């Protein structure tokens, strides 16, 4: 994603990047130079946003026993 630098040296962080890092108005960010010469943008507070898949991860509660599942698949229920 490309962006343009203004006369004041400002850039707009593209929305997909803001969403990925969880950057909202007032967020603090840091620019660091990596060993390979690239510049890395990170959030200063170190908080990581939860991915949409991680939000789905978990346990749905008490489930069926193996015997009950087998009975369902064999139409014995």
- The whole-angstrom separation of Cα 23 and Cα 44 is 10
pLDDT of residue 37: 95
pLDDT of residue 64: 84
What are the extents of the domains in the chain?
A: 1-55
pTM: 0.55
Concatenated DSSP letters of 11-48? -PPPHHHHHHHT--TT--EEEEE-TTS-EEEEETT---
Say if residue 75's pLDDT is above 90: no
**CB contact at 8 A, 50 and 56:** no
Q: How far is CA 4 from the centre of its chain?
A: 25
Q: Residue 24 in 3-state DSSP?
A: coil
pLDDT in tens, 2-18: 999 999 999 999 999 99
CATH code 2.10.260.10 for 1-55:
yes
């Amino acid at each position: 994603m490309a962006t343009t630098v203004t006369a004041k040296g400002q850039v707009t962080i593209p929305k997909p990047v803001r969403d990925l890092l969880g950057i909202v108005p007032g967020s603090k960010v840091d620019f660091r130079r990596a060993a390979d010469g690239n510049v890395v943008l990170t959030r200063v507070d170190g908080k990581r946003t939860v991915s949409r898949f991680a939000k789905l991860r978990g346990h749905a509660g008490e489930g069926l026993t193996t015997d009950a599942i087998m009975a369902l698949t064999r139409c014995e229920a």
